[in-house]
Structure 1
């Protein structure tokens, strides 16, 4: 579904929103409890809501709640309602469909052949188009989530077996997806042919696991088996896993921003440890944009590994010049303007004893709207810093993401309407520099970006979208026709 951007306060909107996390296990007693632990590890991928669907051999049980995993699924009464040795779960931040319990995943449907639940990380760029086609055929949608489109495509498929119906459905999709599904007999995983979003296979004492990141396997002591391959559909039954490759072979385009920001630093994705990549990003940044300074300070927490790498390469001491308050959540109520404008200080506070009279290099992962960076810089100056230089561990973010990450529309991205010098003046730093696109590629062990056949999805930096944006193009065409009609 064409991405919709949520209504947020100014401070909340000045960042990338994490996407979603999926986790499933097949063949483990009290499977829902294991899924709960896995979702705890994936909480960084979505803090809005979560859901779990389990199967006990006879019936499916569904629990979906708004809020954090620890606030909902740790209650014994909830876990007692989720019996069975098979379960899948989802932790959500909405990039399509809006808020509300009806959009919380996994989504569940009763087909002619039995029940089926599905959870999705990513964003489908032709879901609205497919939805309209299905509605013309009589389909009735009960949510506004793009994921529900998959259930309807399965329902109307004329193939015989569930796996065939599932493959028939996913091969009609565009965009980014990592799916985990559960039927009465199978757990099914699928990754889009470009492999934009991550999905890994694990093993826990013979029980197979599908998860968004390896950190979710670590928390339960599971063994990492491998990444699900781009374009792979994996079907897990009592006989074990079996893989299908229904998509035409193409060059993968994994989301490079997973390494910059989204994934947890202790995860290993596509054979690369995220923490090590982020340190290398900082090292590349120090080589490309050196600065005379006394101290390297991360904007916590996402800027910390890159700041360590910058410090090591530049030979400038690293210190925690900004302290983060980890107890301020996304649900903090801001009823008055005076409190609302304190949003940055609620989460971050300058360590004035460390930075007073020092020339500071602030290292952050990205700049979105720039308003948060502006406030952090002012906070550091107020604490007595002699100079403030900013180094950004990614190229300028100048385009919106349509693959499962909630970003502001292009016109609200600072880099889409300002030069670097104009951004420097807006943020009020003594100097500002971003990592180059080739510097980012070098940090992930690629010599440089292949412009004819890019190795990653980097559309938020380059506007080079690797898939069709059918819904977006249709929406834009409709808007233009409407303007022409109104001006005619």
Structure 2
């Protein structure tokens, strides 16, 4: 999970990118990076840490230019500790390109071999973003032989790029001397939207962002979402062009964006995230009323902040008092995207505190947005009991997370998922609650459709096990899990969903040449 932005403006963009990344900080707390361009030169700074810690005054002054891109990252492929994995990535030919990416390529292993044996390109990290950058660079090289780059040649190159990439990707890239190129995968799994600011005399400043909140938060006007399989190109003079690259693209957005990842004040694909979370509460309330005696519940409490809209609706529909019993330390990062189970477990107690007066001798219905690994849920239940609750009912506004996510969210290992291979009663026992209630999958999907009826399909693989790209096999998941256990030994195969060995692939590529 990452947050990306790109700008073409008539003013220095370093502060604009910085401010936009602050508004997207919830999408990644591991690393941050900004690259700007002035003429044909790039200026870049990136490092591990939060935006406010990575960029000091001296760094900001060095990021000159009126166009650029930025990213906040939580890694899903590659090393969480290496600053070399931080984005944007840079390649010097053709022209010079910097690129940042949100998502995950499911065929990165095959592409890495193609880069070496066929395209004669060197990949220096284990990041799939560097692979994606080199695929793009290779296709732009072929599409611009003997000519200068323009929107048409960039879009022609992307036709080949789309045919090679599998998985999820929302991309912002800057091509030295030419402009901003951004595009979204054919399923629209990861979000990307467009903003603009008219500055008079027929001139317009443009930006793209993972979420609308970053556009509106810095005073730009939200224009629209980038469509699945669509690319946009903005040259350095502010001329905007777009093209639908994949003719049969179909919107299948990641439904977990609405559950947890996105800020509630964002709009994604015509849907208010806040309204979806309210509707999730409506449907959850109906299931709670069917499965438990609501007369035995004294209060409804949310786990701040993302479950608050759902909890408010649950309390409203059930006619039960809504109370805020957990208080959040806002200076602790989001526990779901904390690297390492031990760190996550410790950070729960640092992040949340249960106020005793709200729990003492009460039957408490706790509403959370989801349950992934179960570690956080267990700690929350124990906190409620230690604060004096006589009964703890735990309700999840999302269905059980039973399957790995391979499209850019850090929950790819089956053994890490509390709901994988366990019964409902076993999960309830593991988190220590008196009763556990999950949202139904179809109700979650309907919560989004209620806001925008055009939304018919979703990438909901972590809930229903259906992978929209159609290329996820058991062997792929096995290799992915092995790469997390021993990254050094298995990194070459972690992103490879083919049955080819290295030597077979080398032979195949040689024959194609």
SS at match of 1:416: coil
Superposition RMSD on alpha carbons, in Å? Answer: 2.7
Identify the residue that residue 142 of structure 1 maps to in structure 2: 124
**Cα displacement (A) at 1:437:** 1.0
Q: How does 1:446-461 map to 2 (within 5 A)?
A: 446=450, 455-461=457-463
1:176 corresponds to 2:206: no
TM-score of the superposition, structure 1-length normalised? Answer: 0.88
**Closer/same/farther in 2, CA of residues 471 and 165 from structure 1, 3 Å limit:** farther
Q: Aligned residue pairs: how many?
A: 456
SS at match of 2:128: coil
**Closer/same/farther in 2, CA of residues 225 and 65 from structure 1, 3 Å limit:** same
Asked if structure 2 preserves the Cα contact closer than 8 Å seen for 1:175 and 1:468, the reply is: no
Higher helix share: 2
Choose which of 301, 304, 312 in structure 1 pairs with 2:305: 301
Report the Cα distance in structure 2 between the residues aligned to 1:131 and 1:54, rounded to whole angstroms: 27
TM-score of the superposition, structure 2-length normalised? Answer: 0.84
Deviations along 1:232-265, whole A, 9 cap, x unmatched?
Answer: 0111122522111221313311101100000001
Report the Cα distance in structure 2 between the residues aligned to 1:280 and 1:301, rounded to whole angstroms: 16
**Cα displacement (A) at 1:464:** 0.2
Runs of 4+, deviation exceeding 4 Å: 337-342, 446-450, 470-481
Identify the residue that residue 467 of structure 1 maps to in structure 2: 469
Asked if structure 1 preserves the Cα contact closer than 8 Å seen for 2:38 and 2:65, the reply is: yes
Identify the residue that residue 125 of structure 1 maps to in structure 2: 106
Report the Cα distance in structure 1 between the residues aligned to 2:389 and 2:132, rounded to whole angstroms: 54
**Closer/same/farther in 2, CA of residues 341 and 192 from structure 1, 3 Å limit:** closer
1:199 corresponds to 2:192: yes
**Closer/same/farther in 2, CA of residues 33 and 340 from structure 1, 3 Å limit:** closer
**Cα displacement (A) at 1:309:** 1.6
SS at match of 2:214: helix
Report the Cα distance in structure 1 between the residues aligned to 2:100 and 2:476, rounded to whole angstroms: 26
Q: How does 1:65-464 map to 2 (within 5 A)?
A: 65-73=47-55, 75-99=56-80, 100-112=82-94, 114-137=95-118, 138-157=120-139, 158-160=142-144, 161=149, 163=154, 164-183=156-175, 184-205=177-198, 206-237=204-235, 238=237, 240-290=239-289, 291=292, 292=294, 293-329=297-333, 342-446=346-450, 455-464=457-466
**Cα displacement (A) at 1:469:** 3.5
**Cα displacement (A) at 1:144:** 1.5
Report the Cα distance in structure 1 between the residues aligned to 2:331 and 2:478, rounded to whole angstroms: 41
Asked if structure 2 preserves the Cα contact closer than 8 Å seen for 1:449 and 1:455, the reply is: no
Report the Cα distance in structure 2 between the residues aligned to 1:288 and 1:106, rounded to whole angstroms: 45
**Cα displacement (A) at 1:90:** 0.6
SS at match of 2:90: strand
Report the Cα distance in structure 1 between the residues aligned to 2:342 and 2:422, rounded to whole angstroms: 29
Structure 1: runs of 5+ lacking an equivalent: 1-18, 482-488
Report the Cα distance in structure 1 between the residues aligned to 2:269 and 2:104, rounded to whole angstroms: 20
SS at match of 1:285: helix
